[in-house]
Chains A and B, each alone.
Chain A
Amino acid sequence: MFIASREALQEYAAKIKGAAAAETKILVSMGTCGIAAGTTPVLEAIREEISARNLQNAIEVVEVGCMGLCHCEPTIAVIDTATGRQIIYGDVSAAQVPQILAAGTDSPAHGTRTVERSWYYPEFEAKPDTAIQAKIVLRNTGRINPERLDEYIGEDGYDALAKALTEMKPEDVIKEITAAGLRGRGGGGFPTGKKWQFAAAQKNDEKFMICNADEGDPGAFMDRAVLEGDPHAVLEAMAIGGYATGAHNGVIYIRAEYPLAVKRLGIAIEQAHEYGLLGKNLFGSGFDFDIEIKYGAGAFVCGEETALIHSIEGMRGEPTFKPPFPAVQGLWKKPTVVNNVETYANVGAIIRNGSDWFRAIGTQGSPGTKVFALAGKVSKVGLVEVPMGTTLRQIIFGLGDGIKDNKQFKAVQTGGPSGGCITTKNLDTPIDYDTLIALGSMMGSGGMIVMDEDDCMVNIARFFLEFTLDESCGKCTPCRVGNRRLYEMLNEICDGRGTMETLDKLKNLALTVKDTALCGLGQTSPNPILSTMANFPDEYLAHIKENRCPAGVCPNLIHYEINDKCVGCTLCARNCPVNCISGERKMKHVIDQDKCIKCGVCFQTCKFHAIEKK
């Protein structure tokens, strides 16, 4: 198949849409976490059942990317193609497959777990009252087979590129993106249209469009989900950006830790070439665009755009001072645009539906949606996409179904190691780029880690500092030396050696690092400290003044004791990894405090509340 014009594309798309569909479609979630949770045996069972019952013509099995329902993987959806009725099943086992296939879509199979759909697709559906999520970025993720270009074309794929190339001038594309108010989804929220305009204004025979797929924020996995579930959306948007800015070369910089995403991107690029959707003279417009993949090698700082560019150039991924901005002097000293995966995934929808449509979703200052990776101590972990302006309460207690094991919500960390924590009092603030910054945190890439009463906030701050310390490239002194001193001070506090003077110094140095570090990584690294100090001052004081860790986490400040409720069941002694619990059967046991490593296993295993954390 070779598509030479927009008419040919539309004709081909109409043919795909009009093709006779099987009566029933079964979507099987085959993203990284689905596969890790055991989707493959379920998929095999479905295939076997279909061939055993000779249903090849009636049922079509589609391997899709992540549906966002990580809490109940393996997930499958059974859809009646004529009516659109669907049932989503969670925690599916291979043994349940025959019943599920037999049940059809009228009512769920007996003894299975079903999941209500909490989202809608603004591009082709009206909003039902129950939908908290709106999927624009994830419109195809979890719906189509990412390894088949035809399915993407059947969802109007590449029509935005065709429209831009045949109906719009480059400046019109930039105008549309600017009017839509799309802001960079990778962290800072810089207006994408402006970035493109800067690059377009440069006169140079060679320019580059880069896709930042170096998703380094621990706890964020939305870019992986998009690349695994809808890779063509990113390719199409890069080509649109190339046309708008005058770039003919695209580079996707992806982390080596995402092998499945790398594989699917490779397949997508090859297919796009075969169809003539990448390469020379796209849609007969005379515009050429090509994309290559470059691999990261495990460095968080390479998410910073200047560091990323150096890494593509085969050097150490150290950031450099801006200006010159990459839009003026980037890869190989040529004008370069660096956008993140999620930003690109919005572009096609904006070109197809117009900026007014996009602005109608989200808030005034931050139109559109944001994808969040909801994880930590929340009941339903998952990947969610909500309109900007949704509150944290709706996300954590609505979509996430509250805190696991009926514990108390304590805080939520947004923005990863560069962000801050948000507490109960701000759960009802509608969140977008600006409100999060006002709360002392930031949007970041969209990781959202929920913490409960058992988490020590000083220890959390120490965790993030340890991370930045590990990942600091070592180029500038504030980050290299300052963060180490901050980490040491947090260690002192966690070990019960801190004084009020430590606390003062901690705050001063944190502010100094924030003001003086070279790049975004260093400038934001003290944020977790400053925000936990502001929101949980009592916890810091308890560590310092009372030698006490209120959450019972810091090992030097706690110990375990067995009280009189002990019935001598020996369960704790049998589970203790260092065998430091002794006692006769049916007699009260004792913990040898010198040998105890404070792992807490006895505390978790005791059924009689006989072990106390002090």
Chain B
Amino acid sequence: MSCTCDQMPGSDNLIEAYPEKRAELEAYIDSLPLGENPDRNRGFLIQSLHKAQSVFGYLPTCVQLFVADKLKLHLSEVYGVISFYSFFTETPVGRYKINVCTGTACFVKGANKIVDEFKRFLNIQEGETTPDGKFTLGILRCVGACSLAPVVMVNDRVYGNVTAKLVPEIINACAE
């Protein structure tokens, strides 16, 4: 089976386009203690996908296929795993990943209003990216910083005690 990326609108063949990234991912998978038993090798799939996503930013079909080939799995198995876990994404994400926590503590303290405010301000829905590729809006379930609820994470930075009024400030802070 050949890579189908070329036929898919809007997705470049990342594996060919970035040989140095391909080399990094390949070196990582080659360093895993893979054995003879193909079933046991599958146990390395999720961590390989974590690595792939951290290298390429997202997991389009060509990357899935590359990982599938390296671990001698079917593309369908890899796709099944990616579509199951919320951490993995098949579409490119923005430079700033804005994630509003909607865990119970944040919910009780009004996280939904924060989500609405981000939607209104960025003019996108949950899971979408602004057309300029700058912001992606998402929700996540509990970062375990419940004492600071409601919490917003922008990339790795945690903002605590967020109010609707702080939303434009958080967005502006990204621009700087």
Chain A interface residues (CB < 8 Å from chain B): 32-33, 36-37, 70-71, 73, 215-221, 224, 256-259, 294-300, 311-318, 332, 373, 375-377, 381-382, 413, 416-417, 447, 449, 451, 455, 460, 463-464, 467, 473, 575, 577-578, 597, 599-601
Point out the residue from A317, A381, A417, A597 that lies within 8 Å of B146, measured CB to CB. Answer: A381
Instruction: Assess whether B108 is in contact with A451, with CB atoms less than 8 Å apart.
Output: yes
Query: Chain A nearest CB: distance from B116 CB in Å?
Result: 7
Query: Which of B40, B145, B146: most chain A Cβ within 10 A?
Result: B146
Assuming A218-B142, A297-B49, A297-B85, what are 13 further A-B pairs, CB within 8 angstroms? Answer: A32-B144, A37-B148, A73-B147, A217-B142, A257-B143, A295-B50, A312-B43, A314-B81, A316-B81, A375-B147, A376-B104, A447-B104, A578-B120
B144 partner, pick from A221, A314, A449, beta carbons under 8 A:
A221
With a CB–CB cut-off of 8 A, which chain A residues contact B108? Answer: 376-377, 449, 451, 455, 460
Provide the bound-state CA to CA distance between A575 and B165, in Å. 8
Using CB atoms and an 8 Å cutoff, list the residues of chain B in contact with chain A. Answer: 39-40, 42-47, 49-50, 77, 80-81, 84-88, 102-105, 107-109, 113, 116-117, 120, 140-149, 151, 156, 158, 160, 164-165
In the A-B complex, the 5 residue pairs with the smallest Cβ-Cβ separation, listed nearest first, are: A218-B103, A70-B147, A221-B144, A297-B85, A314-B42
Tell me the interface secondary structure of chain B in the complex. Answer: helix
Given contacts A375-B105, A416-B104, A451-B108, contact A297 B147 (CB under 8 A): no
Complex-state Cα separation, A493 to B84, whole angstroms = 31
In this complex, what residue of A is CB-closest to B84? A316
Contact between A332 and B39 (Cβ–Cβ < 8 Å)?
yes
How far is the CB of B10 from the nearest CB of chain A, in Å? 24
How many whole Å from A167's CB to the nearest CB in chain B? 35
Q: Are the CB atoms of A601 and B146 closer together than 8 Å?
A: no
B107 CB to nearest chain A CB (Å): 5
For A295, the chain B residues whose CB sits under 8 A away are 46-47, 50
A75 to chain B minimum Cβ distance, whole angstroms, is 11
A219–B108 Cα distance when bound, in Å, is 11
A100→B149 CA distance, assembly (Å):
29
Q: How far is the CA of A224 from the CA of B140 in the complex (A)?
A: 17
What is the distance, in angstroms, from B172's C-beta to the closest C-beta of chain A? 16
Interfacial chain A residues near B148, Cβ < 8 Å: 33, 36-37
Given A36-B158, A219-B142, verify A315-B42 contact (CB < 8 Å). yes
Once the chains bind, are A294 and B145 in contact (CB under 8 Å)?
no
Residues of B within 8 A of A464 (CB): 104
Q: Is the CB of A256 within 8 A of B43?
A: no
Q: Is there contact, CB below 8 Å, between B85 and A37? A: no
Tell me which of B40, B77, B85, B105 contacts A219 (CB under 8 A): B105
Q: How far is the CB of A314 from chain B (nearest CB, A)?
A: 4
Given A294-B46, A577-B117, check contact A221 B39 (CB 8 Å): no
A221 touches B146 (CB 8 A): yes
CB neighbours of A449 from chain B (8 A):
104-105, 108
Known pairs A32-B143, A33-B147; A298 contacts B87 (CB<8 A): yes
B residues near A463, Cβ cutoff 8 Å: 104, 107
Residues of chain A within 8 A of B151, CB atoms compared? 36
Complex contact B88–A297 (CB within 8 A): yes
> Per a CB cutoff under 8 Å, which of A33, A215, A311, A417 touches B46?
A311
Asked if residues A298 and B85 are in contact (CB atoms below 8 Å), the reply is: yes
Check A70 against B143 for contact (C-beta < 8 Å). Answer: no
Q: How far is the CA of A70 from the CA of B108 in the complex (A)?
A: 17
A218 to B47, CA, bound (A): 24
Q: Write 14 A-B pairs (CB below 8 A) sorted by A numbering.
A: A33-B148, A216-B141, A259-B156, A297-B46, A297-B49, A314-B42, A314-B81, A315-B77, A375-B105, A376-B108, A381-B146, A577-B120, A577-B164, A597-B116
Cα-based distance from A217 to B108 in the complex (angstroms): 15
Least CB distance from A405 to B in Å reads 12
Q: Nearest Cβ in chain B — how far from A165, in angstroms?
A: 27
A473 engages B104 (CB within 8 Å): no
Determine the distance from Cα of A162 to Cα of B102 in the docked complex, in whole angstroms.
44
* Interchain CA distance A219-B145 in the complex, whole Å: 9
Q: Are A297 and B86 in contact (CB under 8 A)?
A: yes
Q: How far is the CA of A298 from the CA of B99 in the complex (A)?
A: 14
CB-defined contacts of A600 to chain B, threshold 8 Å: 113
Complex CA–CA separation, A449 to B147 (angstroms): 11
Are B147 and A314 in contact, with the CB atoms below 8 A? no
Rounded to whole angstroms, the CA-CA distance of A463 and B109 in the bound complex is 13
Assuming the contacts A221-B146, A295-B50, asked whether A37 and B105 have C-beta atoms less than 8 A apart, the reply is: no
B147 x A294 contact (CB < 8 A): no
Task: Report how far A220 CA is from B145 CA in the complex, Å.
Answer: 9
Question: A256 and B50 in contact (CB under 8 A), knowing A33-B148, A316-B80?
Answer: yes
Shortest distance from the beta carbon of B140 to any chain A beta carbon, whole Å: 7
Q: Once the chains bind, are B87 and A256 in contact (CB under 8 Å)?
A: yes
Across the interface, which residues of A come within 8 angstroms of B85, CB to CB?
Answer: 296-299, 317
Q: Whole-angstrom distance between the alpha carbons of A382 and B147 in the complex?
A: 7
Chain A min CB distance to B143 (Å): 6
Most chain A C-beta atoms within 10 Å of own C-beta, residue among B39, B47, B88, B108: B108
B40–A332 touching, CB < 8 Å: yes
Q: Specify which of B77, B88, B151, B164 lies most central, judged by the most chain A CB atoms within 10 Å of its CB.
A: B164
The answer to whether A300 touches B141 (Cβ under 8 A) is yes
Q: Is there an interface contact between A219 and B104, defined as CB atoms closer than 8 Å?
A: yes
Instruction: Using known A-B contacts A33-B148, A298-B85, determine if residue A314 contacts B104 with beta carbons closer than 8 Å.
Output: no
